[in-house]
Chain A
Amino acid sequence: MVTANPEFPLTGPVASPSLVTRLHELVVTVDHKKLGLMYIASALVFLVVAGLMASVIRLQLAFPNNHVVAPDTFNRLFTVHGTTMVFFVGMPIVAGLSNYLVPLMIGARDMAFPRLNAFGYWMFLFGALLLFFSYIGAPGLSGHGSAPDVGWFAYAPLTGRAFSRGNSTDYWILSLLVSGIGSLASAVNVVATTFSMRSPGMKLMRMPLFVWLMLVVSAMMLVAIPPLTAAQIMLLLDRFVGASFFDTQAGGSAVLWQHFFWIFGHPEVYILIIPAFACVSEIIPVFSRKPIFGYAVMVGATVMIGFISVSVWAHHMFSVGMTSVGNTFFVVSTMLVAVPTGIKIFNWLGTMYGGKIRFELPMLCCLAFLFQFLIAGLTGIMLGAAPLNWQLTDSYFVVAHFHYTLIGGMLFGIFAGIYYWYPKATGRMLSKRLGKWHLALFFIGFHLTFDTMHLPGLLGMPRRIYTYDPGRGWEIFNLISSIGVAFQIAGIACLAWNILRSVRKGEKAGDDPWDGWTLEWATTSPPPEYNFETVPVVRSARPLWDLKHPEDPDWKYE
Chain B
Amino acid sequence: MTNADALNLTDESAAWKLPSRRKVAVACLILSETAMFTIFVVAYLFYIGKSLTGPFPADVLETPIVSTICLLASSLTIMIAERAFKRESVGGFRLWWAITILLAAIFLASTAAEWKRLIVDHHLTISTNLFGTTFYSLVGLHASHVIVGFTLLTLVLILSLKGSIRPADGERLEMISWYWHFVDAVWVVVFTVVYVIGR
Contacts and interface: CB of A to CB of B under 8 A. Distances in A.
B24 interface: yes
B52 A250 contact: yes
Given A537-B11, A544-B3, 9 more contacts: A191-B28, A223-B35, A237-B137, A244-B127, A245-B134, A253-B47, A511-B3, A536-B8, A537-B12
Interface of A, secondary structure class, is: helix
A73 to B, nearest CB: 34
B126 interface: yes
**Pairs of residues from A and B, 8 with the lowest C-beta to C-beta distance, nearest first:** A242-B127, A200-B13, A226-B36, A196-B21, A230-B39, A536-B7, A226-B35, A200-B16
Interface string B4-16: 1111111111001
Contacts of A132: none
A131 interface: no
A102 B6 CA distance: 21
Given A184-B32, A196-B20, A237-B137, A522 B7 contact: yes
A192 interface: yes
Contacts of A536: 4, 7-8
Contacts of A426: none
Interface of B: 2-13, 16, 18-21, 24-25, 28-29, 31-33, 35-36, 38-40, 43, 46-47, 50-52, 125-127, 129-130, 132-134, 136-137, 141
Contact of A242 (B21, B126, B130): B126
Given A196-B18, A251-B51, A251-B52, A537 B13 contact: yes
A201 interface: yes
A192 B13 CA distance: 20
Nearest to B52: A251
A292 interface: no
A547 B7 contact: yes
Interface string A215-245: 0000000111111011101100100011111
Contacts of A184: 32
Given A112-B25, A225-B32, A195 B8 contact: no
Contacts of B3: 511-512, 521-523, 544, 547
Nearest to A548: B3
A201 B4 contact: no
Nearest to B41: A230
Contacts of B32: 184, 188, 222-223, 225-226
A195 B21 contact: yes
A263 interface: yes
A135 interface: no
A85 B99 CA distance: 50
B130 A244 contact: yes
15 contacts: A113-B21, A191-B24, A192-B25, A196-B20, A196-B21, A196-B24, A198-B18, A227-B36, A229-B36, A243-B137, A245-B43, A245-B134, A511-B3, A522-B4, A534-B4
Interface residues of A, number: 56
A260 interface: yes
A521 B2 CA distance: 11
A7 interface: no
A303 B51 CA distance: 41
B36 to A, nearest CB: 4
A253 B38 CA distance: 18
Contacts of B33: 226
A512 B120 CA distance: 71
A200 B21 CA distance: 16
Contacts of A213: none
A237 B46 CA distance: 17
Contacts of B10: 201, 537, 539
Given A253-B46, A522-B3, A227 B35 contact: yes
Contacts of B24: 112, 191-192, 195-196
Contact of A237 (B25, B52, B133): B133
Interface string A524-548: 0000000011111111000110010
Contacts of B25: 112-113, 188-189, 191-192
B77 to A, nearest CB: 29
B15 to A, nearest CB: 9
Contact of A201 (B12, B47, B125, B136): B12
B36 A230 contact: yes
Contacts of A543: 7
Given A113-B25, A195-B19, A200 B6 contact: no
A370 interface: no
A197 interface: yes
A71 interface: no
A543 B7 CA distance: 8
Of B28, B31, B47, B136, chain A has the most CB atoms within 10 Å of the CB of B28
B46 to A, nearest CB: 6
A252 interface: yes
Contact of B126 (A192, A230, A243): A243
A197 B130 contact: no
A404 to B, nearest CB: 30
Contacts of A252: 47, 130, 133
A192 B32 CA distance: 14
B19 A226 contact: no
A229 B36 CA distance: 7
